[in-house]
Amino acid sequence: MVGVSSLSPGEYIALKRGDLLTSGELSAATQETIKVIGLDEGRCREHSQNCIDILSSTAGIAEERRLSALAELWLQEAMSKAGSSSDIPSTEADIYAWIEVARHTYAYLFFSERSPGERAFEDRQIQVRDYYNYSVQQIVSWLFQQNLSAIEYKSRSYSLDTPRLSGWKVTTDFTGVRFAGDIDLPENLVPASSLVFSGLRSTYRRDGFGAELVAVIDDSLALHRARPYSEMPFPALTALIHFSGEDLAQVLSTQSLEVIVRDPYQDASVQLHGQQIPLAANFTAGYGLWLANSGFSRQAIRSLLGHSQGINRPHLYMMQPFDPERRIILMLHGLGSSPEAWVNVANEVLGDESLRQHFQVWQIYYPTNMPLPINHTAIRRTVKETLLELDPTTETLASQGIVLIGHSMGGVLARLMVSSSQGRLWSEFVEQRQLPKAHRQLAQQRLAPLLRFESLPEIKRAIFIAAPHRGTPVAGNRLGRAVARFVRLPLTLLEEFDDVIRALANTDAESDGAYLRLPNSIDNLSEADPFIRATANLPISPQVHYHSIIAQRDTSVPLEVSDDGIVPYASAHLPGAISEKVFIAGHSVQETAQAILEIRRILHQDLTEYSN
Torsion sign, CA atoms 335, 338, 341, 342? positive
The predicted structure's pLDDT at residue 452: 92
CB-based contact 409:373 (threshold 8 Å): no
Looking at 51-65, 103-117, 209-223, 416-430, which range is the least confident one? 209-223
The DSSP H or E segment spanning 406 is strand 402-407
Compute the average pLDDT of residues 439-464.
88
The predicted structure's pLDDT at residue 156: 38
Gap between the Cα atoms of 608 and 392, Å rounded = 27
Whether the predicted pLDDT of 154 surpasses 70 = no
Give me the domains of the chain, ranges plus CATH numbers: 12-286 (no CATH), 295-611 (3.40.50.1820)
Whether the predicted pLDDT of 612 surpasses 90 = no
Terminal CA-CA length for the chain: 71
Percent of the chain with pLDDT over 90: 58
Which distant-in-sequence residues (6+ apart) come within 8 Å of 520 by Cβ? 369, 370, 371, 484, 487, 488, 489
Whether the predicted pLDDT of 150 surpasses 80 = no
The predicted structure's pLDDT at residue 302: 87
Which distant-in-sequence residues (6+ apart) come within 8 Å of 82 by Cβ? 89, 94
User: Could you read off the pLDDT of 261-276 as tens digits, one per residue?
Assistant: 999 999 999 999 989 9
The predicted structure's pLDDT at residue 479: 65
The better pLDDT of the pair 555, 439 is held by 555
Whether the predicted pLDDT of 510 surpasses 50 = no
Whether the predicted pLDDT of 544 surpasses 80 = yes
On average, the pLDDT of the chain sits at: 87
Whether the predicted pLDDT of 121 surpasses 50 = yes
The predicted structure's pLDDT at residue 178: 82
Q: How confident is the model at residue 562 (pLDDT cuts 50, 70, 90)?
A: very high
The predicted structure's pLDDT at residue 46: 81
The predicted structure's pLDDT at residue 158: 40
The better pLDDT of the pair 142, 511 is held by 142
The predicted structure's pLDDT at residue 307: 82
Exposure letters 523-557 (e unless 16+ CB within 10 A, then b): bbbbbebebbebbbebebbeebbbbbbbbbbeeee
User: Could you read off the pLDDT of 30-65 as tens digits, one per residue?
Assistant: 999 999 988 888 888 887 889 999 999 998 899 999
Q: How confident is the model at residue 83 (pLDDT cuts 50, 70, 90)?
A: low
Whether the predicted pLDDT of 408 surpasses 60 = yes
Percent of the chain with pLDDT over 70: 89
The better pLDDT of the pair 213, 80 is held by 213
User: pTM above 0.75?
Assistant: yes
Gap between the Cα atoms of 451 and 132, Å rounded = 60
**H-only helix segments in 505-539:** 521-524, 530-535
The predicted structure's pLDDT at residue 604: 97
Which distant-in-sequence residues (6+ apart) come within 8 Å of 231 by Cβ? 180, 181, 317, 318, 320, 321, 322
| Full DSSP string of 172-201 | EE-TT---GGG-SS-SEEEEGGG---SS-S
Give the number of C-alpha atoms closer than 13 A to the C-alpha of residue 348, restricted to the C-beta side. 21
CB-based contact 403:606 (threshold 8 Å): yes
Q: How confident is the model at residue 91 (pLDDT cuts 50, 70, 90)?
A: confident
Gap between the Cα atoms of 605 and 133, Å rounded = 37
With H, G, I as helix, E, B as strand and everything else as coil, classify residue 516.
coil
Q: How confident is the model at residue 595 (pLDDT cuts 50, 70, 90)?
A: very high
Q: How confident is the model at residue 504 (pLDDT cuts 50, 70, 90)?
A: low
Compute the average pLDDT of residues 387-393.
92
CA 411 vs CA 14, 200, 408, 437: distances in Å: 51, 23, 5, 37
The phi, psi pair for 231, rounded to 5°, reads: -85, 150
Whether the predicted pLDDT of 149 surpasses 60 = no
Pairing of strands 256-262, 236-243: antiparallel
Cα angle for residues 231, 237, 241 (degrees, 5° grid) = 155
Burial classification of residue 117, based on how many CB atoms lie within 10 Å of its CB (0-12 exposed, 13-18 middle, 19 or more buried): exposed
Amino acid sitting at position 479:
L
C-alpha R_g of the chain: 30
Compute the average pLDDT of residues 290-319.
88
Compute the average pLDDT of residues 425-439.
78
Torsion sign, CA atoms 83, 85, 88, 92? positive
Compute the average pLDDT of residues 229-254.
93
Compute the average pLDDT of residues 307-322.
88
Q: How big, in percent rounded to 5, are the helix, strand and coil portions of the chain?
A: 45, 15, 40
Compute the average pLDDT of residues 245-261.
95
